[in-house]
A and B are shown apart, each in its own frame.
Chain A
Amino acid sequence: MSAAGGVKDETILEVRDLRTHFFLRRGVVKAVDGVSFTLRRGEVLGLVGESGCGKSVTALSLMRLLPKGGARAIGGEVLLDGTDILTLGDSQMREIRGRKISMILQDPQTSLNPVFTVGDQLRESIFRRAGGRTAQIMREAVAALRRVDIAAPEQRIGQYPHQMSGGMKQRVVGAIVMSGEPEVLIADEPTTALDVTIQLQYLKLLQRLQRETGMAILFITHDFGVVARLCDRVAVMYAGRIVECGPVQEVFEHPSHPYTQALIASVPAMTGPIGRLTTIEGQPPSLMDLSAGCRFEPRCRHAEARCREAYPPPVGVGPDHTADCWRLQPA
């Protein structure tokens, strides 16, 4: 694990000013509007934000799997190992999907094809990567199931998805995705649909697989507890933009953007006196008519005139830690 996981400075995925808009009859929804971040080899980057802030659309843009009917990545670059994948043709993109960049989806109940055994689905994936003979593939499939902690994989491999629990299905999905040996894994709230007791198990499994393979993970969640447990760095997203990004401990101890501060304040504390939970007043802005200024301005306690006029540039507030806020600008 040290051989692959050791190099932490090399960038594997760089997203620059990504813009994904939905062109609808009623108008343009700017779901992702200028997102930039980097993902280094062997690191886990958490992408947090509330529902509808553009996390999942960011993920789908990276996979080039945006829903048909109006969604388009209209700008920016997604450099995967130096290649801008937004410019690739469909067949080139298919070569990359599953092998260089892969994804675990939210709901294990529908992630598996109900008419095939899990073994068939796993073998399809192994065969696509490596080819080989049936017996060989079968052995690899059993090994892949064992690797994701499925007991008695020889029996499980002949079973249909409906014969398995949600947690087990999500582990099978993990095995299918891992069998492509991706360098970058996007996990879009993979534990949301699981029981709380199973969630921790699954996170530990992901962590172990990440250490064994040295892949980079973009972990999308709205749960700060998960971020604290799993991630090296965290990016906080609000209304289509990343407002703060930095090492997990840094961001938790010194949240710099007012939105991050409010988010962390609204997580109930497990210790100390019991008080009312802090909430953030108001609603996130409509992604259809965004102002030129800071998106958080209408809800921000520290809003000033300049916040309304232009979007603040990122400011370095600590080692490897940036936030987009005018108040942090050196005067």
Chain B
Amino acid sequence: MRRIPWIPITIISVIVIMAAFAPLIAPYSPIDQTLPDKLLPPFWLEGGRGKYILGTDPFGRDILSRLIHGARVSLIVALLALTAGGGVGLAIGILAGYLGGPVDSVLMRLVDAAFTFPAILFALLLAVTMGQGMATLVIAISLLLWASFARIIRGEVLALKQRDFVALAKVRGCSALRIMLTHILPNVLNTFMVLVTLNIGVVIIAEAALSFLGAGIPPPTPTWGLMISEGRGRIADAWWVSLIPGIAITLLVLSVNLFGDWLRDRLDPRLRQL
């Protein structure tokens, strides 16, 4: 049995707690500008002040406070997009894989069609038509996710339904719906959980990319992607403005992936109790 990955769990917990209690933890408002204090470096660098631990951005806003509030937006977007996109993908994958035939053909052509959409372009289109905001962002990222979930889950179901335990369930008189829910679904949950954790990284990066491009949450609400974007013009003299949220994204995605890896092993009953 692998050891429990304490470091990733700690990092994830810290970020989750930060996100949950952002207004209580953050030392300053993430929005209010203090222009005289603009572009101050983190406190350990020359010119840094203890007041702003991670420095300030071009508008004199505290980067630590923006990071804490930004975690909230990033995590909520990830949660909603994975629930919507992943859930739809899971359901479609199981239906297509188990029922087969025309249902499978129609659903999988939909998946093929979804893959042909350039996701970023589509998100920009959505942002233009629906306006910027959390809902647009979640819909855009869900549309990016569901197809890959559906395709992978379907493949898994195709293999599962050939197994004799499905035949034995039919022999016992179980209906197709019952077999899908009680026999197929629990068997693909491992794969689903691994897909979810691996895609948390994808979602956070997609959220950052879309916010960076201006198709995400509108400023001044802080998100990690937007923060990177705001620093890109000053990368030579004020690198911390972009780099600090970049490090935060890297840490979170890496931790989530390590945790997902461990979770996959943990959930596999064949590896349990060995």
Residues of A that sit less than 8 Å from B by CB: 63, 65, 68-69, 91, 94-99, 102-103, 105-107, 110-116, 121, 124-125, 128, 160, 162-163, 173, 176-177, 180
Contacts and interface: CB of A to CB of B under 8 A. Distances in A.
A115 B170 CA distance: 18
B186 A115 contact: yes
Contacts of B171: 63, 65, 97-98, 102-103, 105, 177
Contacts of B269: 114-115, 160, 162
Contacts of B187: 113-115
A124 B173 contact: no
Interface residues of B, number: 23
Interface SS of chain B: helix
Interface of B: 100-101, 163-165, 167-175, 182-183, 186-187, 189, 269-270, 272-273
Contacts of A95: 173
Given A99-B173, A160-B269, A111 B182 contact: no
B170 A97 contact: yes
Contacts, number: 76
Given A105-B164, A105-B168, A124-B182, A114 B270 contact: yes
A259 B135 CA distance: 73
Contact of A68 (B101, B169, B273): B101
Contacts of B270: 114, 162
Nearest to A179: B172
A180 B172 CA distance: 7
11 contacts: A68-B100, A96-B173, A97-B172, A105-B167, A113-B165, A113-B183, A114-B165, A114-B187, A115-B186, A128-B172, A160-B272
A106 B167 CA distance: 11
A69 to B, nearest CB: 8
B172 A176 contact: yes
Given A111-B165, A114-B270, A128 B101 contact: no
A163 B273 CA distance: 10
Contacts of B182: 124
A68 B171 CA distance: 16
